[in-house]
Structure 1
Amino acid sequence: MKLALVGDIGGTNARFALWRDEQLESVRVLATADYPGPEAAIRAYLAELGLPLGAVDSVCLACAGPVSGDEFRFTNNHWRLSRAGFCRELQVRELLLINDFSAMALGMTRLREDERVLVCPGEPEANRPCVVIGPGTGLGVGTLLALDDGSWLALPGEGGHVDLPIGSPREAELWQQLYLMLGHVRAEDVLSGNGLLLLYRAICALDGHEARLSSPAEVTAAALNGDEVALGVLEQFCCWLGRAAGNNVLSLGGRGGVYIVGGVVPRFAELFLASGFARSFRDKGVMSAYFEGIPVWLVTAEYPGLMGAGVALQQALGSR
């Protein structure tokens, strides 16, 4: 491959890097609000590095939402692009668009040992799917499969939009409160950054507390400072994440292991490790024994989505 560019584009930030010799170089983070579209952001990125148009031969962009056809509209920011127009404007030969959690899943294949923390001990089973799940702006869910030729297959999906699972009378009461606030209750409605605040408000309404906190960051900070209500919010968040992760393991036969990713959980990693996540992960009645030996890791890598975009590009174009 010649010089390539990879991007991981979210609602607030777009992360770009060069991909050379199967490694990331020159990572930059740009605010999506500062640019009318991805072409303008990439022009600015290349200009900062002193690279002219045409210096990059191929591009892979990891984007939230299903990707197909020539036209793509980003689901969580104002950007949109035409594949043909993008390649023409930036003088790029190849553009690969992939689902953001496909990129995240592929990024797990390049993790160093110091970029993940063991949550549940076990040994991954060869040739079985891995589950990649992560609360961030939304809730992403991906599946990773090792193929016989040594390459990897990431299956895109919209698993964050499944119904929120209920596993106890307390959760049933909370679900009713959330239903009054939202109507249909998705896993993503709770298991996301904004979901932390929604869950806080639901718990306050249910238990008769004054809702004094007004942002996810305030809820996290209050919990880290010992606030009992906020601690209860994070505990319930972790338990629901465990139930959602366990449901995906059962659906996919995910005995290859589970990776917890995204920007939310690492902010309260110690509380997460001490929480009821592991108990809720395995709490499946007659199928609870199925979870024996399935490892779970909390991923702390800084740019796994960018790395996964590079892996996707390498697999798609490396043989050419």
Structure 2
Amino acid sequence: MATPDAPLTIVADIGGTNTRVALARGGAVLPDSLRHVRNAGRAGLEPILADYLAGMDGARPDLCCVAVAGPIRDGQAMMTNLDWHMSEASLARATGAGRAILLNDLQAQGHALGHVDPGRIRAVVDGPVVADAPMLVVGLGTGVNAAPVHGTGVARVVLPSECGHVTLPVTCEDDFALARFIESLPPEPGRTRRASVEEALSGRGLANIHGFLAARAGVTAAGDSHAIIHALAMGDALARASVAMQVRLLGQVLGDLALIHMPYGGIFLIGGMARALAPFADQFGLAATFRAPRWIDLLEHAFRVSVIEDDNAALLGCAVRAALG
């Protein structure tokens, strides 16, 4: 519950299509303040925040905290899915806040852990959870990333990363062929095409897998991830094979991340693709792939994997982080 005399914070979570904006106090988002703003045609976040505050009777926030999909360095952020650049200084000027904080979107999700309604968290791989142990947030959506979470309260540290761009693990001939297929695709302007984890586990990753399997079968691909999930619901065999392959690769990557970070407090999946794949986790053996035998047997019994089904968790994380000071 928000504390009435706590500092007022403006919080924002920038998505590829929309930006969520709200006000918060004492680590809690004020529900009636939540707004969704389309990004198309906007020059950046600063005018969005200024317009939002004008529409909230000229609210004057003490703090500003913003979650962005992209790396942050020296108080500046460059979006990976929008041509926007912002800084903590520019956000403070635009909002009149005494201080602004930029977070990677996965860092914001990490700060939300322990504050999200338990009814919005669903286990997809059962396992033990150790209280106050390290946790891991893994984002699967337009992009892929992960952030380890250590400590609680004021001692919490959420470390940024860009691990969606690491090389896709290859454990069989199909994986190798998929990697070569991805590397053969035309690169986006100014970018190098690489068979990364993101190119297999994001929304376009499912389209890449489907395109690979369609090319091998000599048929036409279904389209984007939404079309593929719909085709699976209609009983399409190629869509089924595509989602099954993505779930298998997800299990492998989660196993690798678990061994790197030892998140005995749990692994939490967030994002549109995480929610889209969750209903198929049992059907396509996510647990079996995640717990596949390795030289060390930690994965056979430890770690729970859950999906967070709260679209506003990043906003909540911004509110929690701002309340820490």
- TM-score scaled to structure 1, two decimals? 0.91
Q: Secondary structure at the match of 2:259?
A: helix
Superposition RMSD in Å? 1.9
Please tell me whether the aligned partners of residues 128 and 303 of structure 2 are also in contact (alpha carbons under 8 angstroms). Answer: yes
Contact 2:209 2:242 in 1 (8 A): yes
Cα distance change, pair 260–273 in 1 and its aligned pair in 2 (3 A):
farther
Cα distance change, pair 86–209 in 1 and its aligned pair in 2 (3 A): same
Q: Which residue of 1 aligns with 2:264?
A: 255
- Secondary structure, aligned partner of 2:100: strand
1:128 aligns with 2:137: no
Letter in 1 for 2:38: A
Residue 228 of structure 1 aligns with an amino acid whose one-letter code is A
Secondary structure at the aligned position of 2:34 is classed as strand
- Give, in whole Å, the separation in 2 of the partners of 1:290 and 1:198: 28
Per-residue deviation, residues 276-315 of structure 1 (Å, max 9, x unmatched): 2111111242224444031111111121111111111111
> 2:286 aligned with 1:286, yes or no?
no
Structure 1 counterpart of 2:49, which letter? I
Letter of the structure 1 residue corresponding to residue 73 of structure 2: S
1:240 match: 249
Report the alpha carbon displacement of residue 132 of structure 1 after superposing the two structures with TM: 1.1
> Could you say what secondary structure the match of 1:184 adopts?
coil
Counterpart pick for 1:305 among 290, 310, 314: 314
Q: Is it true that 1:15 corresponds to 2:24 in the alignment?
A: no
Q: Does the residue aligned with 2:113 lie in a helix, a strand or coil?
A: helix
Unaligned runs of 5+ in 1: none
Instruction: Decide which moves more: 152-161 or 31-40.
Output: 31-40
Q: Aligned equivalents of 1:220 and 1:151: distance in 2? A: 41
Query: Which of 114, 119, 136 in structure 2 is aligned with 1:114?
Result: 119
Q: Who is 2:177 aligned against?
A: 173
Name stretches of at least 5 consecutive residues in structure 2 with no aligned partner: 1-5, 187-192
Moved over 6 A (4+): none
Cα deviation 1:189-232 (Å, max 9, x = unaligned): 111111111111011112x2412412221111111221110011
For 1:44-85, what per-residue CA distance to the aligned partner results, in whole angstroms no more than 9, with x for missing partners? 222332234xx1111001112221225433222122224333
Letter in 2 for 1:271: F
Distance change >3 Å, CA 177–CA 310, structure 1 → 2: same
Q: Percent identity?
A: 26
Hey, what does 2:205 align to over in structure 1? 195
Note closer, same or farther for the CA distance 1:51–1:200 as it changes in structure 2 (3 Å cut).
same
Whether 1:60 aligns to 2:65 is yes
Determine if contact 2:9/2:24 at 8 Å carries over to the other structure: yes
Helix, strand or coil: the match of 1:45? helix
Give me the whole-angstrom Cα distance separating, in 1, the residues matched to 2:275 and 2:140. Answer: 10
Q: Distance in 1 between matches of 2:29 and 2:101?
A: 17
1:19-30 → structure 2 map (5 Å cutoff): 19-25=24-30, 26-30=33-37
Aligned length: 312
Shift of 1:93: 0.6
Match of 1:261, as an amino acid? I
Q: Considering fraction of residues, name the structure with more helix.
A: 1
Residues of 2 paired with 1:184 and 1:39: CA distance?
Answer: 33
Contact in 2 for aligned 1:224/1:268 (Cα 8 Å): no
* Number of the residue aligned with 1:2: 7
User: Match for 2:223: what amino acid?
Assistant: S
Equivalent AA in structure 1 for residue 306 of structure 2: W
